[in-house]
Amino acid sequence: MAVTETGIAATPAHQRAALIGAAVALVLAVALFAGARFGLLLAIGLGFGIALEGLRFGFAGPWRAMILRRDPAGIFAQLVAIAIVSMGAIPLLASHPGELTGAHAPVGFAMLGGAFVFGAAMQVVLGCGSGTLVNAGSGNPVGLAALPFFAIGSFAGASHLVWWTDLGTAPVVVFRGAGGLVVTLALLAAVAGILWWRAAPENRKLPARRLWIAAIAVAVLALANLAVAGQPWGVVYGLGLWAAKGAVALGVDVTASPFWAAPGNADRLAASVLTDVTSLTNIGIIAGAALVAAWRGGLAQALPGYPARAWVCTIIAGFLLGYSSRLAFGCNVGAFFSGISTGSLHGWAWFAAAFAGAVLGVRLRPLSGLEARS
């Protein structure tokens, strides 16, 4: 068996062929069993997982790099990806209003508070919405432990969403059409300018080629998600649906919640997860990240040891990630990435509130014990 530069044994060719075969078989099985659209969505999810893990494109890590080292390269890549998607999505939403839906939501007190808490929690576990899925798939034990509690939190947050939004919510504001695209691109450029200004002098440089490739790949997949599903890329809804289905199986009457009793949500509770858009892309992200980790031989890494308080913090942070992202009308994917790229003002409000929360979260992380590996 060959050994890579990192000292990890490379995966043999026949095992890599088996990984590709398994991924293709999975997509074909879902397409045949559930429908072509759902097979395509699983394939898009696999693509997200492969791009995010394979090219190490994330959200929590780059925000941490900016806060601690004033290194904006990773956030520049996020802004590039969002800009590319907005150039496709905003015109498409204008030309196909009956077929495509944007990630449009109102700004409100609970929305801002939720985004702040999400930003803090994602820095504690170093995993956002997509990051928790990728981390779990690649065998990161913290991501794996956070995932089920993320789902439970998402279910609970959705169940209480109406109460929270009743605290005060502004009308939905959307930047539409050519003018909306210009505003969105101008705001993205302004944020890039601020980051450049705030960057450490040695970090005032363009992102590495890997990040450009990752940004383009993620943007293409996000546009494919919009075209195939008719809605932008999201993560949190699917996780909450999984927990809601679990609650129903345990005999909980979820229809007591106005959210789960609403016709669309009640329909999705009764339908298969193999026909739910975000469930499929979430499954694909986990499987795609696992595929990349196995391909690289990264699964041979020994698991780190953490103190007990680290696991308690992971469970609490996982729950808060799910709960807060429902109040915030999305996580880094549904609100920040998809909200901004489809012209929603709430995406920008989410970004500001979550980044403020991330500043706090970076300071909380050492207290969690998650940096005390053995």
Partner 1 sequence: MTRHLTAALAVAFIAAIVLADLLGGAVPNPYRAPAAVALGSGLASAGGHCAALPGN
| Residues 271-300, interacting with partner 1 (CB under 8 A) | 271-278, 282-283, 286-287, 290, 293-294, 298-300
Residues 165/167/170/175 CA torsion (nearest 10 deg): -30
Nearer to partner 1, 64 or 104 (CB): 104
- Does position 174 interact with partner 1 (CB under 8 A)? The reply is no
Window 121 to 140, contacts with partner 1 (CB under 8 A): 136-140
CB of 134 to partner 1, least distance (A): 10
Could you give the CA distance from residue 54 to residue 70 in angstroms, rounded to a whole number? 25
CB of 166 to partner 1, least distance (A): 11
Could you give the CA distance from residue 290 to residue 128 in angstroms, rounded to a whole number? 17
- Does position 52 interact with partner 1 (CB under 8 A)? The reply is no
Nearer to partner 1, 203 or 275 (CB): 275
Return the residue matching tokens 């030309």: 95
Nearer to partner 1, 225 or 368 (CB): 225
Phi and psi at residue 247, to the nearest 5°: -65, -45
Count of residues in contact with partner 1, rule CB under 8 A? 91
From candidates 18, 20, 33, 190, binder to partner 1 by CB under 8 A: 33
Residue 117's contacts (CB-CB under 8 Å, 6 or more residues apart) are 320, 323, 324, 357
- Does position 344 interact with partner 1 (CB under 8 A)? The reply is yes
Window 87 to 116, contacts with partner 1 (CB under 8 A): 92, 96, 98-106
Nearest to 189 by CA among 340, 357, 346, 359: 340
CB of 331 to partner 1, least distance (A): 7
Could you give the CA distance from residue 333 to residue 8 in angstroms, rounded to a whole number? 32
Window 245 to 264, contacts with partner 1 (CB under 8 A): 245-246, 249, 258-259, 262-264
CB of 2 to partner 1, least distance (A): 19
Nearer to partner 1, 261 or 312 (CB): 261
Window 197 to 236, contacts with partner 1 (CB under 8 A): 226-232, 234-236
Residue 1's contacts (CB-CB under 8 Å, 6 or more residues apart) are 9, 10, 12
Alpha helices in 56-160 (DSSP H): 60-69, 73-95, 109-125, 129-137, 141-159
- Pull the structure tokens for residue 155: 């279910």
Nearest to 133 by CA among 374, 272, 334, 342: 334
- Does position 318 interact with partner 1 (CB under 8 A)? The reply is no
Name the CA radius of gyration of the chain, rounded.
20
- Does position 341 interact with partner 1 (CB under 8 A)? The reply is no
- Does position 244 interact with partner 1 (CB under 8 A)? The reply is no
